[in-house]
Structure 1
Amino acid sequence: MRLKSSFRYSLYAAFSVLSLTGAGWLVADWQKDVAGDEIWQMTAANMLMVHGGVAMLSLLLVGALIPVHVLRSWRSGGNRVSGSVMAAFNAVLVVTAFGLYYLGSEIVRPWMSWIHLGAGFALAAMFPFHIWLGRRHRGREQLRSRSETKS
């Protein structure tokens, strides 16, 4: 189910910024422990602020995506497997983000962090694949409808 351009590009932008700030935070966090320089601590903090702000925006976008894309695509039978994987990764990211922000447990926090990082990078890898599968599926349907119209 193709989305309106403005909505689609908003999703692309939000997920790109989330991926870049997540990766940027990871690098800065590693560097602050290695280099011990104040700039890496500030960079990590800034990456987290931007990441958190864009995450709030992406929650709105994903929420809006459910009725206009997810439910319609599910009913039409298109791209169900990769769409389900995308939804699962997003759910894991929401739960682990909540845990990272609100749980103060030093035992749980490292686990939440690694799960969040893994799901985030997996979603970043899955996102273009999901788009490609959807376009391929839509292309096949267009060819099928053209051949049915000619006969």
Structure 2
Amino acid sequence: MRLKRSFRYAMYAAFAALVLTGAGWLVADWQKSAAGDEIWQQVAANLLMVHGGVAMLALLSLGALIPMHLLRAWRSRKNRISGSIMATFNAALIVTAFGLYYLGSEVIRPWMSWIHLSAGFALALTFPLHVWLGRRELK
């Protein structure tokens, strides 16, 4: 189920921005703990703000993907395994992002953070595979 080029590139850009800001935040968060510099605190806060804003755009495009890509591909029995993995990682990211933002529990927060980071980087690895498998089926 090939997506329109402009929509596809917008998705690629959003997910690339999410990976870059997420990885950048992780580095800045480690640096603020190690170096104790105020600059790393500011960098981490700014990256997190951009990450959250881009995530909202990604949520809009994920919502658009359901009827025009996911459901059509599922019905035509195409790329179901990698598509299911992609949907699962995205669902985990949405749930854990909600938990990180809205739950104040200091017990749950570290778990949510590690699950969110793991699902995010796993999605970053799975996304190109999903695209490659889908293009391979078109040939």
Give the total of aligned pairs: 139
The Cα shift of 1:126 comes to: 0.3
The Cα shift of 1:93 comes to: 0.3
* Percent identity of paired positions between Structure 1 and Structure 2: 76
The Cα shift of 1:49 comes to: 0.2
Q: Which runs of 4+ in 1 moved over 4 A?
A: none
Tell me the residue number matched to 1:8.
Answer: 8
The Cα shift of 1:131 comes to: 0.2
What one-letter code is carried by the residue in structure 2 that aligns with 1:52? G
* RMSD over aligned Cα atoms: 0.4
Q: Within 1, Cα distance between the matches of 2:39 and 2:69?
A: 42
Residue deviations 1:66-110 (CA, integer Å, cap 9, x gap): 001000000111100000000000000000000000000000000
Tell me the residue number matched to 1:110.
Answer: 110
Q: Within 1, Cα distance between the matches of 2:86 and 2:46?
A: 27
What one-letter code is carried by the residue in structure 2 that aligns with 1:50? V
1:80 corresponds to 2:96: no
What one-letter code is carried by the residue in structure 1 that aligns with 2:115? I
1:104-143 correspondence runs (5 A): 104-139=104-139
What one-letter code is carried by the residue in structure 1 that aligns with 2:52? G
1:2-151 correspondence runs (5 A): 2-139=2-139
What one-letter code is carried by the residue in structure 1 that aligns with 2:45? A
The Cα shift of 1:129 comes to: 0.3
For structure 2, list consecutive stretches of 5 or more residues without a partner in the other structure.
Answer: none
Q: Within 2, Cα distance between the matches of 1:29 and 1:45?
A: 9
The Cα shift of 1:122 comes to: 0.2
Q: Within 2, Cα distance between the matches of 1:8 and 1:137?
A: 17
For structure 1, list consecutive stretches of 5 or more residues without a partner in the other structure.
Answer: 140-151
Q: Within 2, Cα distance between the matches of 1:14 and 1:71?
A: 22
What one-letter code is carried by the residue in structure 1 that aligns with 2:72? R
